[in-house]
Amino acid sequence: MIQGVILAGGKSSRMGGQPKELLSVKGEPLIVRTCRLLQQTVQSCLVISNHAERLTMLPPSISIYPDDIKEQGPLGGMATAMRVSAHDLLLVVGCDMPELNEDILYKLTMYAPQLKSGQLDAVVPEQADGRLQPLCALYHRRIRPVILDQLSTENKRMRTMLDTINVAYLPVQQDSTKVFYNLNTPADYETLRKEETK
């Protein structure tokens, strides 16, 4: 079984402090939409958040865990998820992708046998322009020691971690820019809202 993981531990500082996971997308909070996508794909879902009190709209079946070590970025959230999950495979997504869809998530899960067998440690989408999307990727929790080692340094870059493990890159061509569109700033959100009203 694959564990769905939503990373929602950031400060949303570039969003002016407004929690990205609570932004309304097509009439519902973004984190609710993301949870539903994961549950439709892998059934089980947990959230890494240091603010469980503002996620009361999630059903009781969704477990919420704070970062073991705060302010370590996505790697810190992944390390926590790998500790608390009952499953070896984790489908990790950020909380700020309003155009994420089941198709890309399903394609990632198809690599599960290679991760289980040890052929791969992770599979990460790669856009046509070469950009990687490590916050929409499938990981095996055997890499947790690698992450913990990196967290003991000043380097918290996801790319550094990927360079240390055995990764397959999933080419994503059609509308990849849209699928992985991130909400980082109020301007990003305003652009999304304008698209919704077209």
Instruction: Specify which residues 64 forms β-bridges with.
Output: 47
Q: What is the pLDDT of residue 184?
A: 65
pLDDT at 113: 97
Q: Which residues pair with 132 in a beta bridge?
A: 126
Residue 155 CB neighbours (<10 A): 11
Tell me, what CATH number does 45's domain have? 3.90.550.10
Q: Which pLDDT value is given to residue 65? A: 97
**pLDDT-based confidence at residue 171 (cuts at 50, 70, 90):** very high
Phi and psi angles of residue 44, each rounded to the nearest 5 degrees, phi first: -95, 140
Whether the CB-CB separation of 64 and 50 falls below 8 Å is answered with no
Q: Confirm whether pTM is higher than 0.85.
A: yes
Work out the average pLDDT over 117-140.
94
The band of 176, judged by pLDDT with boundaries at 50, 70 and 90, is low
In 3-state terms, what secondary structure has residue 88?
Answer: coil
Tens of pLDDT, residues 51-100? 999 999 999 989 999 999 888 999 999 999 999 999 999 999 998 888 89
Considering its fold, how many domains does the chain have in total? 1
d(CA 132, CA 161): 13
Interval 117-130 mean pLDDT: 94
Domain of residue 179: give its range: 2-196
Phi/psi of residue 60, nearest 5 degrees? -60, -20
